[in-house]
Amino acid sequence: MLFRSKLLRVLQFGEIRPVGGEHTHHVDVRVIACTHRDLPTLVKDGRFREDLYFRLNVLPLHVPPLRDHKEDIPALATHFLAEALKRAPQSPVRSIHPAALRALTDEPWPGNVRQLASTVERAVVFGVHETIGPEDLALDPRGEPPQGADALTHAWPFPSDAPWTLQHLNRVYTDWVLAKTGGNKERAAEILGIDLSTLYRWQRSSLTNLRRRADEPTRAADEGAPGRGESAEPSDRSGPKVAVQ
């Protein structure tokens, strides 16, 4: 309340006194204040100074919450994607899938634009694919995912074939848990007994390995192809030369 009285003096008379100072200084400033609180109710309850409220409430502007102008969400999400990629250029993410944009549009966003920006940036930082899908947004699920053992009462993903490597086993089992939890990464990490950051790291490592294996045939073909200036004809150094008349 003491600070509010000092702020009121600044607004009313344009006067400030530095801490420890003996003289008052005059300032010419314009104050822009914003709040998500119901100030008239706070004034009525005696929790906000009435005189300060009327000094601040000169040119009121009402900014609607994000849920009241959802048509702007796709454009905002695209903008926040570009901003997030500037801070995380190493991320493989490059775009947002239309289904993910629809999921963003359907959210109530109690945290408004800041919450939307944080959601997009989180998807960029932890992204493992070029396109952000609905499962990458970590939004509150519309329905409760299966809990405990009920989440895993589906077909066992490992056929009885030759033994798999531990890396392959880990990747397939992780994908299976994610599928059975409806893509809920937090729930999947809980079932796997790991941190959420570890799950994201596993997914990135898996994607890197898949890309490396996909590039192997191309590299092998390039290595087997003749170089520049080299002839594809078989060498004749293995046998004698025969002159044909």
Domains and CATH numbers, the chain: 2-56 (no CATH), 66-136 (1.10.8.60), 148-221 (no CATH)
Q: Give the pLDDT of residue 204.
A: 77
* pLDDT at site 106: 93
| Res 135: pLDDT | 82
What pTM does this model have?
Answer: 0.51
pLDDT per residue of the chain (245 residues) written in tens, 0 to 9: 567 777 888 888 888 888 888 888 888 888 888 888 899 999 999 998 898 888 888 899 888 899 999 999 999 999 999 999 998 888 889 999 999 999 999 999 988 998 899 889 888 877 778 999 988 887 754 434 444 444 444 445 555 555 667 777 777 788 778 777 767 788 888 888 888 888 888 877 766 665 565 555 555 555 655 554 454 444 444 444 434 44
The confidence score (pLDDT) of residue 122 equals: 83
Three-class HEC string of the chain: CHHHHHHHHHHHHCEECCCCCCCCEECCCCCCCCCCCCHHHHHHCCCCCHHHHHHHCCCCCCCCCHHHCHHHHHHHHHHHHHHHHHHCCCCCCCEECHHHHHHHHHCCCCCHHHHHHHHHHHHHHCCCCCEECHHHCCCCCCCCCCCHHHHHCCCCCCCCCCCCCHHHHHHHHHHHHHHHCCCCHHHHHHHHCCCHHHHHHHHHHHHHHHHHHHHHHHHHHHHHCCCCCCCCCCCCCCCCCCCCC
